[in-house]
């Protein structure tokens, strides 16, 4: 998914802001954005980072000893619902303790 000659775009930045909004408002997760000329990242914690690129939000995680799984979503609401489970594992907090409150619609699901 990553391309070394691709530049980050304003759309990538908007997607990252939307994801941060959903994580903060729906799950009380204080994610933040790290941007550079070639990438836009949403950092949930030091071991869990999602990349916003070309209309996709994608991330990798250890799916077992010595293996990694690549996962993606097209919409911030979908990505947040998946990322919250990994975040809960990373910070040793049950997902029920982060159950989403009322979510405002950030952008249409895709």
Tens of pLDDT, residues 29-84:
999 999 998 999 999 988 899 999 999 999 988 777 787 889 999 999 999 999 99
- Helix runs in the chain, H state only: 10-27, 76-90
Kindly indicate the confidence band of residue 103, based on its pLDDT and cuts at 50, 70 and 90: very low
| Whole-number Å distance between alpha carbons of 17 and 52 | 10
| Whole-number Å distance between alpha carbons of 91 and 102 | 23
Q: What is the pTM of this model?
A: 0.79
Q: At what angle do helices 76-90 and 10-27 cross, to 10 degrees?
A: 60
Q: What b-and-e string marks burial along 63-73, b requiring 16 or more CB atoms within 10 Å of the CB?
A: eeeeeeeeebb
Tell me, rounded to whole angstroms, the distance of Cα 75 from its chain centroid: 10
């Amino acid at each position: 998914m990553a391309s070394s000659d691709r530049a980050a775009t304003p759309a990538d930045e908007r997607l990252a802001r939307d994801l941060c909004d959903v994580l903060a408002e729906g799950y009380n997760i204080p994610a933040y954005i790290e941007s550079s000329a070639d990438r836009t990242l949403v950092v949930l914690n030091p071991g869990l980072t999602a990349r916003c690129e070309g209309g996709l939000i994608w991330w990798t995680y250890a799916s077992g000893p010595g293996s990694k799984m690549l996962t993606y979503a097209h919409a911030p609401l979908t990505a947040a619902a998946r990322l919250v489970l990994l975040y809960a594992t990373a910070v040793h907090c049950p997902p029920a303790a982060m159950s989403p409150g009322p979510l405002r619609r950030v952008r249409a699901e895709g």
